[in-house]
């Protein structure tokens, strides 16, 4: 994390109860309404406050130690379960939201990828978007100047939606992506569990480059690293402001590697580098399941065997080395 952080482009604190009452989410798909009615049943009390901040892109440090994150990165073979690290119970924990450039833009639709799943389980996020649209705020995670990551601290998680395949529950192909909108309301109802009392989540909304073809350019690689570093450093800064001295943990995964078609090894590698740059105490990397761990493990191998042995280097040199590895874009996963 840089020694000094600039002030965020925007900072607003919302009382959650007032936010939801004054700017109710606009849910356009029946199944999103099903989840919402379970999460926020009639008469439920919304508590606490939500702090929204949007940050301008940071300049990368002039020098980087690729080995900085080694020993601080932990894979987890699951989707987000929002479980606190047993060995860091007092940590300030943040979860990466795999965002669109328009913040939570599809929260009310039938879509159910990572971004939309997160906004369904944290229903006040829809209210936050509606409130931002009323004001002069941009509600974007990038603009003409470049990446502008958004942090949302203190949002209630009020529901859990099971997306794993379960034939007995009527979801033989699971509920992720397009399967959610195709499912019957009753199947979605059975898959949704209200969390009482709600837990509290901190989010980092990052937009990844999308729909590229061929090999990654140095420009794109640098933009990815800037985006991740800015979001991670902002989270570390906000954590120190909220609870000085507490460990900082960020949970992420294959950001930008679903419909955006990102390369899983490269996106893992750059997040590892960004975590080291930001001085995180831990990066928890969710690989969905054991079968999904190979790209993350390859990124760790590249970091440990091909980059770390050179020791501290100029960041420009690291970017050149990664570009020379000739990573190629993947395909839209169609989900």
Q: What is the DSSP string of 105-173?
A: TTTTSS--SHHHHHHHHSTHHHHHHHHHHHSS---BSEETTEE--EEEEEEEEEEEE--S-BGGGTBTT
Residues near 270 by beta carbon (within 8 Å), at least 6 away in sequence? 221, 224, 225, 228, 322
Q: What is the DSSP string of 223-239?
A: HHHHHHHHHHHHHHHHH
Instruction: Compute the average pLDDT of residues 219-231.
Output: 98
Q: Please count the CA atoms within 13 angstroms of the CA of 216 that sit on its side-chain side.
A: 31
pLDDT score recorded for residue 2: 77
69-97 per-position pLDDT tens digit: 999 999 999 999 999 888 999 999 999 99
The Cα 314–Cα 301 span in angstroms is 21
pLDDT score recorded for residue 308: 96
pLDDT bin (cut points 50, 70, 90) of residue 207 is: very high
292-322 per-position pLDDT tens digit: 999 999 999 999 999 999 999 999 999 999 9
Instruction: Compute the average pLDDT of residues 213-229.
Output: 97
pLDDT score recorded for residue 111: 95
The Cα 307–Cα 90 span in angstroms is 32
Q: How much of the chain, in percent, has pLDDT values that exceed 90?
A: 91
C-alpha dihedral (71, 72, 76, 82), degrees to nearest 10: 160
User: Does residue 201 have a pLDDT over 70?
Assistant: yes
Asked if 5 and 237 count as a contact pair (C-beta separation under 8 A), the reply is yes
Instruction: Compute the average pLDDT of residues 233-238.
Output: 98
pLDDT bin (cut points 50, 70, 90) of residue 137 is: confident
The Cα 160–Cα 287 span in angstroms is 19
Tokens of 23: 């700017």
The Cα 192–Cα 116 span in angstroms is 14
pLDDT score recorded for residue 18: 97
pLDDT bin (cut points 50, 70, 90) of residue 331 is: confident
User: Does residue 196 have a pLDDT over 80?
Assistant: yes
pLDDT score recorded for residue 335: 56
pLDDT bin (cut points 50, 70, 90) of residue 334 is: low
Residue ranges of domains in the chain, CATH in brackets: 10-324 (3.40.220.10)
User: Does residue 3 have a pLDDT over 90?
Assistant: no
User: Does residue 16 have a pLDDT over 70?
Assistant: yes
128 closest CA partner among 26, 223, 243: 26
The Cα 255–Cα 101 span in angstroms is 13
151 closest CA partner among 247, 69, 23, 237: 237
* Beta strands 142-143; 282-286: pairing state: unpaired
The Cα 157–Cα 146 span in angstroms is 30
pLDDT score recorded for residue 290: 87
Longest CA–CA separation in the chain, Å:
60
Q: What is the pTM (predicted TM-score) of this model?
A: 0.96
Residues near 53 by beta carbon (within 8 Å), at least 6 away in sequence? 8, 10, 11, 150, 151, 153, 234, 238
pLDDT score recorded for residue 333: 61
The Cα 291–Cα 90 span in angstroms is 31
Tokens of 313: 């280097």
Tokens of 273: 């580098």
Q: Is cis: bond before 162, omega within 30 of 0?
A: no
Q: Please count the CA atoms within 13 angstroms of the CA of 158 that sit on its side-chain side.
A: 21
DSSP-derived secondary structure letter, 258: S
The Cα 208–Cα 257 span in angstroms is 9
Position of tokens 């406050």?
49
pLDDT score recorded for residue 135: 78
């Amino acid at each position: 994390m840089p020694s000094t952080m600039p002030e965020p482009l925007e900072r607003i604190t919302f009382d959650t109860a007032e936010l939801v009452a004054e700017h109710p989410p606009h849910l356009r798909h029946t199944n999103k309404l099903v989840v919402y009615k379970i999460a926020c049943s009639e008469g439920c009390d919304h508590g606490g406050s939500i702090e929204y901040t949007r940050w301008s892109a940071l300049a990368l440090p002039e020098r980087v130690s690729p080995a900085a994150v080694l020993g601080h990165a932990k894979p987890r073979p699951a989707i987000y379960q929002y479980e606190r690290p047993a060995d860091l119970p007092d940590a300030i924990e943040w979860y990466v939201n795999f965002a669109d450039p328009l913040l939570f833009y599809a929260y009310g639709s039938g879509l159910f990828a990572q971004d939309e799943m997160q906004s369904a389980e944290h229903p006040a996020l829809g209210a936050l978007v509606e409130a931002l649209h009323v004001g002069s705020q941009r509600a974007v995670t990038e603009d003409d100047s470049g990446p502008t990551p958004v942090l949302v601290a203190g949002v209630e998680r009020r529901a859990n939606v099971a997306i794993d395949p379960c034939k007995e529950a009527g979801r033989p192909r699971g509920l992720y992506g397009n399967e959610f909108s195709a499912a019957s309301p009753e199947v979605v109802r059975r898959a949704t569990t209200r969390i009482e009392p709600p837990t509290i989540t901190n989010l980092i909304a990052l937009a990844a480059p999308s729909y590229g073809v061929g090999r990654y350019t140095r420009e794109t690689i640098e933009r990815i690293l800037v985006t991740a570093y800015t979001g991670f450093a902002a989270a570390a800064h906000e954590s120190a402001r909220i609870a000085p001295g507490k460990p900082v943990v960020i949970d992420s995964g294959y950001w930008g590697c679903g419909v955006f078609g990102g390369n899983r090894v490269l996106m893992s590698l750059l997040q590892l580098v960004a975590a080291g740059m930001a001085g995180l105490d831990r990066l928890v990397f969710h690989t969905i399941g054991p079968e999904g761990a190979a790209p993350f493990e390859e990124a760790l191998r590249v970091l440990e065997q091909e980059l770390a042995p050179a020791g501290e280097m100029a960041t420009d040199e690291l970017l050149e080395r990664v570009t020379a590895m000739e990573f190629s874009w993947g395909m839209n996963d169609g989900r």
